[in-house]
Structure 1
Amino acid sequence: MDGQLVQETWWQRHTRMPWRGFRLGLLGIPAIFVGLWFGTALALVGLVAGVLLLPSAALLMRNTANVYRDLIGRWTGIAIERPYLPAPASGPGFKGLLRRFTATISDPATWRDYLFLSADPVVSLFTAALPGYCILYAAWGYFLAAYGGKMLGHYGGSDWYAYIHVTAGYERNTGRIVSTIVVATLFLAFGFLTGPKFMAVYGRWGRLLLGPTEKSRLALRVQHLTETRSDAVDASAAELRRIERDLHDGAQARLVAMGMSLGAIEHLLDKDPEKARALLAQTRASSAKALHELRDLVRGIHPPVLADRGIGDAVKALALDHPLDVEVTADLPARLEPPVESAAYFAVSEILTNAAKHSGASRVWIDMGHEQGMLRITVTDDGHGGATVGGGSGLRGIERRIGTFDGVLALNSPVGGPTIVTLELPCALSSPKTSPS
């Protein structure tokens, strides 16, 4: 259910839905012209002009259909995915144009959009827009009952309101006025009471034609898996390069230096024992530093607290070492699958790092929970906002990391703050939560 709908009261829902449906009905007017333009381009396919015009006409039609999808999702809570098959790589010249043309006409979503835009003006009239028209008709009835009927009759007009001849003789007829008010009130009540139901029917109609078919859903799924597989390979390669770099610059260099120091100590044992003893002390200190660096490296690969205690306690431990004031709330009845825990942990770690470096925040709140097979993590800071996902930001890397698990990242960061980052990862609970004795 859409978040806006969840927050609405019964009264708000029943007073707003008729006008939302009425606006959807009005949207059918430009939709008619968009459908006519696509039909015209389609009729010219036998000529070169049709091949040139059809891709742009289809794009305009898709943009119009996307407006419907967004409005239906926001106003009815029925989310409609984009159903379009992946576009082929465009090339120069007529060959590239022909490839785009072929992809457009071979996509079932193109024809479903065309059918929707062609039929929607009539369908919306009897579904989403009907309550709004009933309310307007009720307002017309009140106008006729007040003085409109007498005015029309005075100037020689004749008008009926439902079954009532409101201008007959145009003299004030109490029975006729009361009947008009009663019928208008019935139309008014019908419009407000049935608005949400008719909008729900319209939402199902929109999902029927504007939603993806099984073919397009499968194609989109294959595309998503291809992209996430590529992201996973890139992330693994980057992680290996980081480990190799850390080993080469840290522990490996210290171990090489220790080997050279031990060789020098071996030659100095008989000649200069005091100097050999000093080198042994330095070697001992180097070994301690190398061990510390190796432990840090292991924690960067998979922190022991994450393996032992799970994502909740691991993030709490992460918060204790963070320079900002971080408050963690975790409601996880059991352990999650280890790969998901690892991805979620490093995602939260990256978000906290970004908050410390760029947000100007003083406090951070982390909420974690698992419901209906979904791990949901919300990280909120009181910084200056303005964060974006694109442009090579760390959030883009997080999105790619959790994308390998079909996870999604949502960002809300208006200028002036606060910044809210929400992560959702589908996962199952793998084992009961345990605590140390």
Structure 2
Amino acid sequence: MSKQKQIILNFFLNSTGVHEMGWKHPDAQPERVSDLSHYIKLVQIAEAAKFHAVFLADDLSLNPLVSTHGLILGFEPVSLLSSLAAVTSRIGLIATVSSTYTEPFNTARIFASLDHLSGGRAGWNIVTTADNRNSQLNFQNEEAISHETYYSRAEEFVQVAKKFWDSWEDDALVFDRKEGIYADSNKIHTFDHHGEFYHAKGPLNIPRSPQGYPVLVQAGASEIGRNFAARTAEIVYTMQSSWETAQAFYADMKSRVEKFGRDRDDLKIIPGICPIIGKTESEAKEKAAEFNELLDVRSGVKRLSLALEHDLSGYPLDEPLPDVSTISNQSTHSQLILAIARNEQLTLRELVHRVSSGNGHLTFVGTPVQVADQLEAWFLKAADGFAIRPQLSPSGLEDFAKWVVPELQRRGLFHKEYSGKTLRENLGLKRPANSLSKQFS
């Protein structure tokens, strides 16, 4: 009898939760935004509930709405997750690092370090930071780069990083006290990479880590982003606003993976979900209403205007968006927002609330059983797991851990204990073979 497939759960970590105005909630603790003990508590709640990993996003520029919005955590991700590695033992640690504003050696080194220090729990969320003018200027980069070039450079970046990780064979460290041999130099390799964007030789100055490579994560949803993920990634985070689009995305990505010669199970599809949980349905709806009351709608309109690169301030709040075909921003996120407005027939005010509560991710409001029902339905046809994005932290995470996790376990859909020590083992992913050891053997 084959083992039942189980849900992957990752926790999206930030300071007060994903609701833009959640920091105003009486149960929020925004003053602890720079308090390490706050993040220790959050990740330990997630680990006690047996979440597979904690995921930390990143932004390389200041949120232009920082005066009112409390959404973005500014810590450098690997620094924070390295601190959290010391107070956890099994949960995975996935950090976002841009392939545009660093070098393959630096990235390979920091993730090998995190993987060693955590005992094999590191993951790398590969982003290109495309189309972010403020980030460009922060790095003294005024060059206009095409979307395709960002991804071409990212693909080569990952190829070079893998060569750095493979530059040490697993048994290169000898520690032969009698013969005085610390490491076998024949098992430490250079590789002479000369590509379109990068030139590197290696080797890395740190041995191969427990997982070989960190788990590779990607979130691109454009055509070129999907192909990049299908060739390279092992987890794809995705923003889906409906069952139908989630199912179509899942089928498309699994098909692409096979076209690139990989097994369907080599890539895990993880939609982001923003749950609001109550002991009763009415209690859950009351919680959702509380979040709506926190929102300054005009401030929310500013945020939408920035996201769409189109001034919405003159539009009536309680009427549907007028013809939006004139909006020129064709980014995946912008098109998702417009699709939500169109498909759900929302007024501008309703769209502001919809986006503020999850940035376009689907929000499940209900009892633990109702939320588990939704997760199960998506899991059977449209997901391998979920990135849980509580509206408010820590209380939203505590509600999910206390109520929804046991319900999923009761149904046999979620594990009760970690199956392995490394993130790869817990996700059911293979440890990559060393390409350079084969070349030099």
TM-score bracket, shorter-length normalisation: under 0.3
Is the radius of gyration larger for structure 1 or structure 2?
1
More helix by share: 1
Q: TM-score, normalised by structure 2?
A: 0.21
User: Structure 1-normalised TM-score?
Assistant: 0.21
Q: Which has the higher contact order (CA 8 A, sep 6+)?
A: 2
